[in-house]
Chain A
Amino acid sequence: MPPDIEAIAEHVFTALADPTRRAILAALAQDGPATATDLAARLPITRQAIAKHLALLAEAGLVRAEPGERRRVRYRLRSAPMRVAQQFLAALARDWDSQLEALKDHLDSAAS
Protein backbone atom coordinates (compact mmCIF):
# COMPACT_ATOMS: atom_id res chain seq x y z
CA MET A 1 0.00 0.00 0.00
CA PRO A 2 1.38 3.42 -0.87
CA PRO A 3 2.68 5.22 2.19
CA ASP A 4 0.41 8.19 1.70
CA ILE A 5 -3.02 6.52 1.57
CA GLU A 6 -3.43 7.30 5.24
CA ALA A 7 -2.31 10.90 4.75
CA ILE A 8 -4.86 11.28 1.94
CA ALA A 9 -7.69 10.03 4.14
CA GLU A 10 -6.55 12.29 6.94
CA HIS A 11 -6.63 15.33 4.64
CA VAL A 12 -10.19 14.54 3.63
CA PHE A 13 -11.43 14.07 7.18
CA THR A 14 -9.60 17.17 8.41
CA ALA A 15 -11.15 19.19 5.60
CA LEU A 16 -14.61 17.86 6.37
CA ALA A 17 -14.30 18.61 10.08
CA ASP A 18 -14.38 22.35 9.39
CA PRO A 19 -17.83 23.81 8.54
CA THR A 20 -16.45 26.45 6.15
CA ARG A 21 -14.37 23.96 4.19
CA ARG A 22 -17.29 21.55 4.21
CA ALA A 23 -19.48 24.28 2.71
CA ILE A 24 -16.87 25.04 0.03
CA LEU A 25 -16.49 21.36 -0.92
CA ALA A 26 -20.25 20.89 -0.93
CA ALA A 27 -20.69 23.90 -3.22
CA LEU A 28 -18.05 22.57 -5.65
CA ALA A 29 -19.66 19.12 -5.60
CA GLN A 30 -23.12 20.54 -6.18
CA ASP A 31 -22.45 23.19 -8.81
CA GLY A 32 -19.07 22.34 -10.30
CA PRO A 33 -15.84 24.36 -10.59
CA ALA A 34 -15.95 27.90 -9.25
CA THR A 35 -13.68 30.85 -8.47
CA ALA A 36 -13.22 32.24 -4.97
CA THR A 37 -15.41 35.17 -6.01
CA ASP A 38 -18.20 32.84 -7.21
CA LEU A 39 -18.10 31.00 -3.91
CA ALA A 40 -18.11 34.23 -1.87
CA ALA A 41 -21.28 35.26 -3.69
CA ARG A 42 -22.97 31.99 -2.76
CA LEU A 43 -21.72 31.33 0.76
CA PRO A 44 -21.99 33.48 3.87
CA ILE A 45 -18.20 33.72 4.09
CA THR A 46 -15.81 36.49 3.05
CA ARG A 47 -13.80 36.10 -0.14
CA GLN A 48 -10.60 36.33 1.88
CA ALA A 49 -11.62 33.45 4.13
CA ILE A 50 -12.67 31.39 1.12
CA ALA A 51 -9.36 32.06 -0.65
CA LYS A 52 -7.47 30.96 2.44
CA HIS A 53 -9.43 27.72 2.72
CA LEU A 54 -9.14 27.02 -1.02
CA ALA A 55 -5.36 27.39 -0.84
CA LEU A 56 -5.32 24.91 2.01
CA LEU A 57 -7.60 22.48 0.17
CA ALA A 58 -5.47 22.75 -2.98
CA GLU A 59 -2.34 22.01 -0.99
CA ALA A 60 -4.03 18.95 0.50
CA GLY A 61 -4.94 17.80 -3.01
CA LEU A 62 -8.71 18.01 -2.46
CA VAL A 63 -9.28 20.72 -5.05
CA ARG A 64 -7.33 21.59 -8.16
CA ALA A 65 -6.62 25.16 -9.25
CA GLU A 66 -7.05 25.69 -12.98
CA PRO A 67 -7.20 28.70 -15.27
CA GLY A 68 -10.70 30.12 -15.61
CA GLU A 69 -12.30 32.95 -17.54
CA ARG A 70 -10.85 36.47 -17.30
CA ARG A 71 -7.61 34.98 -15.93
CA ARG A 72 -9.31 34.05 -12.69
CA VAL A 73 -8.32 30.85 -10.96
CA ARG A 74 -11.08 28.29 -10.83
CA TYR A 75 -11.22 25.46 -8.30
CA ARG A 76 -12.39 22.00 -9.13
CA LEU A 77 -13.11 19.19 -6.68
CA ARG A 78 -10.78 16.19 -6.99
CA SER A 79 -12.62 12.95 -6.53
CA ALA A 80 -9.71 10.56 -5.95
CA PRO A 81 -9.02 11.57 -2.32
CA MET A 82 -12.73 11.34 -1.55
CA ARG A 83 -12.73 7.74 -2.78
CA VAL A 84 -9.85 6.94 -0.48
CA ALA A 85 -11.89 8.32 2.42
CA GLN A 86 -14.84 6.21 1.25
CA GLN A 87 -12.67 3.08 1.49
CA PHE A 88 -11.94 3.97 5.09
CA LEU A 89 -15.64 4.47 5.80
CA ALA A 90 -16.53 1.23 4.01
CA ALA A 91 -14.36 -0.69 6.48
CA LEU A 92 -16.05 1.03 9.41
CA ALA A 93 -19.50 0.45 7.98
CA ARG A 94 -18.99 -3.29 7.41
CA ASP A 95 -20.87 -4.91 10.24
CA TRP A 96 -19.65 -8.50 10.40
CA ASP A 97 -20.65 -8.76 14.07
CA SER A 98 -24.35 -8.36 13.28
CA GLN A 99 -24.00 -10.47 10.17
CA LEU A 100 -22.47 -13.39 12.10
CA GLU A 101 -25.16 -13.08 14.77
CA ALA A 102 -27.73 -13.37 12.00
CA LEU A 103 -25.97 -16.49 10.70
CA LYS A 104 -26.10 -18.10 14.15
CA ASP A 105 -29.77 -17.22 14.58
CA HIS A 106 -30.56 -18.65 11.18
CA LEU A 107 -28.80 -21.95 11.93
CA ASP A 108 -30.44 -22.20 15.36
CA SER A 109 -33.92 -21.59 14.00
CA ALA A 110 -33.39 -23.98 11.09
CA ALA A 111 -32.37 -26.69 13.57
CA SER A 112 -35.36 -26.29 15.89
Chain B
Amino acid sequence: MGFPDRIERTVEIAHQPAKVWAALTTAEGLAAWFGNEAGIDLRPGGSAWMRWHEEGFTADMRVERVEEPKVFGFTWHIYGLPDQDPRRTYVEFTLEPAGEGTRLTVVESGFAQLPEDAYKKAYEGNTNGWASELGELVDYLDAA
Protein backbone atom coordinates (compact mmCIF):
# COMPACT_ATOMS: atom_id res chain seq x y z
CA MET B 1 0.00 0.00 0.00
CA GLY B 2 2.82 2.42 0.87
CA PHE B 3 2.01 4.58 3.85
CA PRO B 4 2.63 8.19 2.78
CA ASP B 5 5.07 9.77 5.24
CA ARG B 6 6.47 12.67 3.30
CA ILE B 7 5.12 15.14 0.77
CA GLU B 8 7.57 17.19 -1.26
CA ARG B 9 6.96 19.84 -3.90
CA THR B 10 9.25 22.28 -5.66
CA VAL B 11 7.98 25.29 -7.58
CA GLU B 12 9.67 28.11 -9.44
CA ILE B 13 8.38 31.50 -8.44
CA ALA B 14 9.02 34.67 -10.44
CA HIS B 15 9.74 36.78 -7.37
CA GLN B 16 12.83 37.28 -5.29
CA PRO B 17 13.42 35.23 -2.14
CA ALA B 18 12.85 38.25 0.14
CA LYS B 19 9.31 38.63 -1.18
CA VAL B 20 8.57 34.94 -0.93
CA TRP B 21 10.03 34.93 2.58
CA ALA B 22 7.64 37.69 3.64
CA ALA B 23 4.67 35.80 2.22
CA LEU B 24 5.65 32.73 4.24
CA THR B 25 6.66 34.28 7.53
CA THR B 26 4.44 37.28 8.21
CA ALA B 27 0.84 37.34 9.43
CA GLU B 28 -0.15 39.51 6.43
CA GLY B 29 1.53 37.13 4.00
CA LEU B 30 0.07 33.94 5.47
CA ALA B 31 -3.40 35.47 5.66
CA ALA B 32 -3.20 36.43 1.98
CA TRP B 33 -2.61 32.99 0.48
CA PHE B 34 -2.83 30.31 3.15
CA GLY B 35 -5.42 31.04 5.81
CA ASN B 36 -7.93 33.88 6.01
CA GLU B 37 -6.36 35.25 9.16
CA ALA B 38 -3.00 34.55 10.73
CA GLY B 39 -0.63 35.44 13.50
CA ILE B 40 3.01 34.55 13.98
CA ASP B 41 5.78 34.98 16.50
CA LEU B 42 8.71 34.46 14.17
CA ARG B 43 11.38 32.75 16.26
CA PRO B 44 12.18 29.10 16.98
CA GLY B 45 9.68 27.95 19.59
CA GLY B 46 7.33 30.84 18.78
CA SER B 47 3.68 30.15 18.16
CA ALA B 48 1.72 30.85 15.01
CA TRP B 49 -1.84 30.26 13.91
CA MET B 50 -4.05 30.43 10.87
CA ARG B 51 -7.82 30.58 10.73
CA TRP B 52 -10.14 29.62 7.91
CA HIS B 53 -13.48 31.39 8.20
CA GLU B 54 -15.56 29.20 5.93
CA GLU B 55 -14.43 25.98 7.57
CA GLY B 56 -14.47 27.53 11.02
CA PHE B 57 -11.09 25.94 11.54
CA THR B 58 -7.95 27.17 13.26
CA ALA B 59 -4.53 25.57 12.87
CA ASP B 60 -1.98 26.12 15.61
CA MET B 61 1.64 25.94 14.60
CA ARG B 62 4.95 26.04 16.42
CA VAL B 63 7.80 27.78 14.62
CA GLU B 64 10.86 25.52 14.54
CA ARG B 65 13.43 26.96 12.12
CA VAL B 66 13.99 30.55 11.06
CA GLU B 67 16.97 31.17 8.78
CA GLU B 68 16.04 34.24 6.80
CA PRO B 69 15.68 34.17 3.85
CA LYS B 70 16.46 30.50 3.28
CA VAL B 71 14.66 28.12 5.64
CA PHE B 72 11.38 28.40 7.50
CA GLY B 73 10.05 25.38 9.38
CA PHE B 74 7.09 24.75 11.65
CA THR B 75 5.19 21.83 13.12
CA TRP B 76 1.46 21.43 13.32
CA HIS B 77 -1.13 18.95 14.32
CA ILE B 78 -2.03 16.05 12.01
CA TYR B 79 -5.40 16.98 10.60
CA GLY B 80 -8.19 14.72 11.83
CA LEU B 81 -6.44 13.42 14.92
CA PRO B 82 -7.84 14.38 18.32
CA ASP B 83 -6.46 17.63 19.77
CA GLN B 84 -4.70 15.81 22.61
CA ASP B 85 -2.76 13.57 20.24
CA PRO B 86 0.89 14.65 20.48
CA ARG B 87 1.83 13.69 16.93
CA ARG B 88 2.65 16.57 14.59
CA THR B 89 3.97 16.86 11.08
CA TYR B 90 6.93 19.08 10.26
CA VAL B 91 6.67 21.51 7.38
CA GLU B 92 9.85 23.04 6.00
CA PHE B 93 10.09 25.66 3.27
CA THR B 94 13.46 26.07 1.56
CA LEU B 95 14.08 29.12 -0.64
CA GLU B 96 16.89 29.25 -3.18
CA PRO B 97 17.60 32.08 -5.61
CA ALA B 98 16.91 30.95 -9.19
CA GLY B 99 17.75 33.62 -11.74
CA GLU B 100 15.47 36.58 -11.00
CA GLY B 101 13.16 34.42 -8.97
CA THR B 102 13.04 31.75 -6.31
CA ARG B 103 13.01 27.99 -6.25
CA LEU B 104 10.72 27.10 -3.36
CA THR B 105 10.61 23.60 -1.92
CA VAL B 106 8.09 22.51 0.68
CA VAL B 107 8.48 19.24 2.53
CA GLU B 108 5.90 18.01 5.00
CA SER B 109 6.95 14.90 6.88
CA GLY B 110 5.82 12.74 9.77
CA PHE B 111 2.46 11.41 8.61
CA ALA B 112 3.58 7.84 9.26
CA GLN B 113 5.12 8.46 12.66
CA LEU B 114 4.02 6.23 15.48
CA PRO B 115 6.50 6.48 18.35
CA GLU B 116 7.05 3.19 20.13
CA ASP B 117 5.76 4.36 23.50
CA ALA B 118 2.80 6.22 22.06
CA TYR B 119 2.07 3.18 19.99
CA LYS B 120 1.96 0.93 23.03
CA LYS B 121 -0.05 3.41 25.00
CA ALA B 122 -2.56 4.07 22.27
CA TYR B 123 -2.81 0.61 20.89
CA GLU B 124 -2.67 -1.63 23.93
CA GLY B 125 -3.83 0.70 26.64
CA ASN B 126 -7.30 1.04 25.18
CA THR B 127 -7.84 3.84 27.65
CA ASN B 128 -8.75 6.59 25.25
CA GLY B 129 -12.09 7.81 24.09
CA TRP B 130 -15.42 8.49 25.65
CA ALA B 131 -15.56 5.24 27.58
CA SER B 132 -12.60 6.25 29.73
CA GLU B 133 -13.64 9.89 29.93
CA LEU B 134 -17.03 8.80 31.21
CA GLY B 135 -15.34 6.32 33.53
CA GLU B 136 -13.28 9.14 35.01
CA LEU B 137 -16.40 11.24 35.44
CA VAL B 138 -18.09 8.37 37.27
CA ASP B 139 -15.04 7.90 39.51
CA TYR B 140 -14.98 11.61 40.24
CA LEU B 141 -18.68 11.70 41.12
CA ASP B 142 -18.36 8.53 43.22
CA ALA B 143 -15.49 10.04 45.18
CA ALA B 144 -17.36 13.30 45.84
Q: Which of A17-25, A34-42, A49-57, A95-103 contacts B (4 or more CB under 8 A)?
A: A95-103
Q: Given A79-B129, A96-B108, does the pair A103, B122 have CB atoms closer than 8 Å?
A: no
| Residue among A78, A84, A96, A107 making CB contact with B19, cutoff 8 Å | A107
Q: Does B57 contact A (CB under 8 A)?
A: no
Q: Is the CB of A78 within 8 A of B112?
A: no
CA distance A102 to B47 in the complex (A): 23
Across the two chains, which residue of chain A brings its CB closest to B33?
A106
In the complex, per-residue mask of A2-18: 1 if CB is within 8 Å of any chain B CB, else 0: 10011001100000000
Number of A residues, CB within 8 Å of B:
40
Q: Does B116 contact A (CB under 8 A)?
A: yes
Q: Which residues of B contact A93 (CB under 8 A)?
A: 79-80
Q: Is the CB of A6 within 8 A of B104?
A: no
Q: Does B42 contact A (CB under 8 A)?
A: no
CA distance A106 to B23 in the complex (A): 8
Q: Is the CB of B114 within 8 A of A2?
A: yes
Q: Is the CB of A89 within 8 A of B123?
A: no
CA distance A9 to B123 in the complex (A): 13
| Residue among A90, A96, A106 making CB contact with B78, cutoff 8 Å | A90
Q: Which residues of A contact B123 (CB under 8 A)?
A: 61, 78, 80-81
Q: Could you jot down 26 A-B contacts, CB within 8 Å?
A: A1-B3, A1-B5, A2-B116, A5-B112, A6-B3, A79-B128, A80-B122, A80-B128, A86-B78, A87-B112, A90-B78, A90-B80, A90-B89, A93-B80, A94-B108, A99-B34, A100-B11, A102-B33, A103-B13, A104-B13, A106-B32, A106-B33, A107-B14, A107-B23, A108-B14, A111-B19
**Using a CB–CB distance below 8 Å, which chain A residues touch chain B?**
1-2, 5-6, 9-10, 32-33, 61, 64, 76-81, 83-84, 86-94, 96-97, 99-100, 102-108, 110-111
